[in-house]
Amino acid sequence: MDSRTKTSGISLLNFDGTLKQQPWLRGYPGEWIDFSDLHSCQGYCSSESLRQIQFRLKSRKYKNITLIGGGNYHYVTYLLLSEIQHPFSLILFDHHTDLAFNDDVPLISCGSWVSMALQTLPLLNRVVIIGANTSTLFQASGIPDKVTVISEQEVRRLSPVDIVRAIRSVLPDGPVYISVDKDVLDPDNAVTNWDQGSMTLRQLLDVIRELKRLRPIVGEDICGELPLSPVDILCDERVPQLKKNEIANKAIVDILLAG
């Protein structure tokens, strides 16, 4: 990515309005990029909408940290990775591998973007997925050679130091890109619309902090917001759930922005 890009702020993508409900995020230098007018982009993304998303992303000033919104738009990470102009590895915190193959559906999706990145981004050296449910491993059509999975079951028994040691054992030299889907976290630390893992927020922050010490970070993104309808916003039970996600987002952003 361009070394002249501002590094002290965040980009917030507005697909579904979820991030607009988190006022703490307005405390950071940043910019909003609106995608709320797009169609055929939730879960699966049409080619035309994907081109529009890519075009609008190019104009952003803050390219290091991107808050995507709901997990249904995690495929946006593929577009962010495609901007990197030198070899790198992807560290993905996610309760799902996102390694599905959509041979019968010629669209990128929130469940297939990692596979597409491996197939089409030659500068992507390796992918390490942390916290995935082992049942999703069997659903995937085999784990590609470039992919290492540290499963949810392993994360439960490993300390952050052990997790980082496992990452280092397979990670080549060079910079890394960090992508966080909050569905990797246990429900005490975040609330999403996908089945969730059991990683604690403290574990996640400690691993990210150590990764920053060990490798240059070429970019980061966060997704996994809980979709909210206009009725949900007025629902009392949604308020603490939304606050959990806001607290988690702020903690992750603070770790990423820290020197």
Task: List all residues 6 or more positions away from 205 whose beta carbon is below 8 Å from its beta carbon.
Answer: 251, 252, 255
Rounded Cα distance, 77 and 221, in Å: 7
52-99 pLDDT, tens digit per residue, is 999 999 999 999 999 999 999 999 999 999 999 999 999 999 999 999
Q: Which of 57, 109, 99, 22 is nearest to 221 (CA)?
A: 57
Dump pLDDT digits (tens) for 124-154: 999 999 999 977 555 555 688 999 999 999 9
pLDDT digits 0-9 by tens, 154-178: 999 999 999 999 999 999 999 999 9
Say what the pLDDT of residue 1 is.
42
What is the pTM assigned to this prediction?
0.93
- Under the banding of pLDDT at 50, 70 and 90, the label for residue 103 is low
| Euclidean distance between CA atoms 100 and 97, whole angstroms | 8
Report pLDDT for 2. 42
Q: Are 241 and 191 in contact (CB under 8 A)?
A: yes
